[in-house]
Amino acid sequence: DAGVIQSPRHEVTEMGQEVTLRCKPISGHNSLFWYRQTMMRGLELLIYFNNNVPIDDSGMPEDRFSAKMPNASFSTLKIQPSEPRDSAVYFCASSSRRAGGVDSPLHFGNGTRLTVT
Amino acid sequence: AQKVTQAQTEISVVEKEDVTLDCVYETRDTTYYLFWYKQPPSGELVFLIRRNSFDEQNEISGRYSWNFQKSTSSFNFTITASQVVDSAVYFCALSEAGDDKIIFGKGTRLHILP
């Protein structure tokens, strides 16, 4: 069974360009999370979806960041325009949400390493 | 609000020594879940364990063991007879029942020296 699939693995772009990160969750999982990892701030939750609906985007740093989940098998995280401080590893994770909250473990993708120059 | 604190930023031990990674959490909920994840140098995040707040039994899995103490809001992780392959960053995480968020601590970078 395939795990969470993220693309691209690496992205190098110039400041001001639009960046789109992609994620395919594990089939059957109904919760999807976007995290950002940096040395200074560790793993930060940016946004999560449940049944394709955004539930909490309070972690999205600025309006330059947006995320969509058009269907159960695909999500995107877009940064427009990108800035050097957006450089980080972006992880997508999925899980199966049960009644009463998420108690199943997150399954993470391998991450996208973004470098904005 | 939920919070996870891993006070140890970095630990180095010599191979075969035992090492304990500390995790202290804060939550107002009586029902919650605790997790440990491992991030080896290759970068992926690997799930290790999940506990719910009603199960305070300690757990052992091979060389790994976990000590959950609600009285001190701690969920510590011990590696016995450490090996070089245990070198990684280890994250403790918390989610509250009814809330899908899983919040991570800052992680502890563990170096096992040969």
Rounded distance between C-alpha atoms, residue A107 and residue A44, angstroms: 16
pLDDT band at B37 (very low <50, low <70, confident <90, very high): very high
Q: Which residue has the higher pLDDT, B2 or A69?
A: A69
User: What pLDDT sits at residue A76?
Assistant: 98
| Residue-wise pLDDT tens digits, A66-107 | 999 999 999 999 999 999 999 999 999 998 876 545 557 889
Least CB-CB distance to B33: which of A33, A103, A111?
A: A103
Rounded distance between C-alpha atoms, residue A47 and residue A93, angstroms: 11
Q: Cα distance from B52 to chain A (closest Cα, Å)?
A: 8
Longest dimension (CA), chain A: 44
Q: Cα distance from A88 to chain B (closest Cα, Å)?
A: 12
Taking residues A55-64, report their average pLDDT. Answer: 92
Rounded distance between C-alpha atoms, residue B112 and residue B96, angstroms: 33
Rounded distance between C-alpha atoms, residue B77 and residue B51, angstroms: 12
Phi-psi region of B81 (alpha: psi -120 to 50; beta: other; left: phi over 0): left
User: What pLDDT sits at residue B56?
Assistant: 83
Number of Cα atoms under 13 Å in the Cβ half of residue A116: 18
Rounded distance between C-alpha atoms, residue A77 and residue A66, angstroms: 6
Least CB-CB distance to B101: which of A56, A89, A104?
A: A56
Q: Nearest-CA residue of chain A relative to B107?
A: A42
